[in-house]
Amino acid sequence: MRRDIDEALYGWPYEPEPGEAIAREIRARDGRNVLQIRIELGLMQLEVEGRPDGVRPHSFPTFLDYLRHRASTRSSAQGGGKSPWSMSTEHCAEADREFAQFYHRRIAWLTLHRYDKALEDAEHSLALMDFVKKYAGDPDYVTNHERYRGLVLLHKTQASAALALERRKPEQAIDAIREGLERLTEHQQALVSEPDETPNEAYLEQLRHLEREIRKEFAVEKTLREQLDEAVADEDYELAARLRDQIKAQTRR
């Protein structure tokens, strides 16, 4: 059996544009789909379901699932009046491993315009960040992870908006961007309180530019949710009720 990867690399040169990732989804010999990412010294191969490396940490689908189990069982066993459970050094190292794996797969999904999958992986990373923020005992470790929350929020918002556009729902795309801008702004404001940290306005500007382009292309002045916000602010509850009904009907379609 051949053990080199020459066949996989044949005809697949590593010539990326600045900031470009090179990825593809292929069918493996056993029939399952896998992701491959071309890197300078070869390639990475990732599973498309579960954890990207195909491992089930402690028999759980992901390490986040295992951590949630540990936190819940330990908290129940400790009862009241005891010190809360916190992540160990080994837990933090394994969490970092999972962060990195989901980052690479998220970038690959975005490159391949698989926005549904990119959205799932972004949500997993944010959930892992939320867990770390709550249970990691080392403040520096938490801070190091929070620096990357803005990038994950950007990717999640881009994937949500692109998915809505694929479904021909430009208003939902704009609403997704507005929500992303709000969450990203809150995060950037939190970063300002940290020493030596400055918010990255580039993420916000990317989303604002995307919003302007969608409004222009699809001639959207105000979405139903924007109109609802205005009606509530004006205390026009009759109009607000009608708009809520329209939003519900729109969501069901």
Asked if 127 and 80 count as a contact pair (C-beta separation under 8 A), the reply is no
Q: What is the pLDDT of residues 66-114, one digit of tens each?
A: 999 999 987 655 555 566 899 999 999 999 999 999 999 999 999 999 9
Q: What is the pLDDT of residues 171-225, one digit of tens each?
A: 999 999 999 999 999 988 887 665 555 567 889 999 999 999 999 999 988 887 7
The span from the first CA to the last CA of the chain, in angstroms, equals 52
pTM of the model: 0.87
As a whole number of angstroms, the distance between CA 60 and CA 51 comes to: 10
Residues 6+ apart with CB under 8 A from 102: 52, 121, 124, 125, 128
